[in-house]
Structure 1
């Protein structure tokens, strides 16, 4: 048995190759995500999940680890769409009790649903809940809470201080 294999057996908290490969894939998706709304392209609540296997249900730490690439992709897509003149909304939904449903959304005028998206019943926080501390900045984003059926979700919206959040004032 190799020295590395002995160490992994003796230290079960150390990630194995499959775990490392999983995280490489998650981060690769976040770093390469691209959304094109130019020309006739549109998005009807197009979204991307980063925790397809619902690993975030294992622990709050595991959930937070998935939020980092999600927020990286959020910033990346905002930057991409900043270059486009089409009206758009970019936001993230985070479900504390259902991490596999966490997603980055892009919404534009389209033939299938109303634009802009409405976020009725949302209350914006002035402090971050523990799940989002160190992952989301209130200087850069607004965090709204929507309560439903005894549960809640967080919606993260860009602050309204730049062209990348064009039409966010209608939220």
Structure 2
């Protein structure tokens, strides 16, 4: 992987994206989300450095908090979570899911999630256990962590 150049500008732009991403979403009366998600590290820069990975995880948590604030007044039931992939920073994402016309899959169930797990050292301090539940899942080749609000939304 190529070295990430212009880190100050890159992370400044990442913070702008976190501050505005939730504003692009429509939380109106007729809105719905079918596993909507966004990857803040789409290119996987966090795979090359733990420091860069931590910054992206912080950004995902910041975006998640912003979305939860907007979802507080949303009139429909919803699920929302952050997914941190074990192997690929580019797969880390923030999700919103609601009842939707595409498929009858709400609330979404993720099998094999073990809750109340010890988080890895590289992001353990970024997750407040009073605010969030953390779980670990393993399904085939996919493995990672689910971070979910204790207070808002349907749980898995």
Per the alignment, residue 119 of structure 2 pairs with 128
Return the structure number with greater helix share: 1
User: Of residues 16, 40, 49 in structure 2, which corresponds to 1:28?
Assistant: 16
Per the alignment, residue 142 of structure 1 pairs with 133
Specify the SS of the correspondent of 1:156: strand
Q: What residue ranges of structure 2 are gaps of 5+ in the alignment?
A: none
Give yes or no for the alignment of 1:42 onto 2:32: yes
Q: 1:115 to 1:150 in 2, by over 3 A?
A: closer
**Contact 1:90 1:107 (C-alpha < 8 Å) held by counterparts:** yes
Say how many residue pairs are matched.
Answer: 150
Structure-2-length-normalised TM-score: 0.88
**Contact 1:37 1:43 (C-alpha < 8 Å) held by counterparts:** no
Structure-1-length-normalised TM-score: 0.80
Per the alignment, residue 4 of structure 1 pairs with none
CA distance in 2, matches of 1:61, 1:125: 25
**Contact 1:38 1:86 (C-alpha < 8 Å) held by counterparts:** no
What is the root-mean-square deviation of aligned Cα atoms in Å? 1.8
Q: What residue ranges of structure 1 are gaps of 5+ in the alignment?
A: 1-14
CA distance in 2, matches of 1:37, 1:119: 25
Q: 1:155 to 1:139 in 2, by over 3 A?
A: same
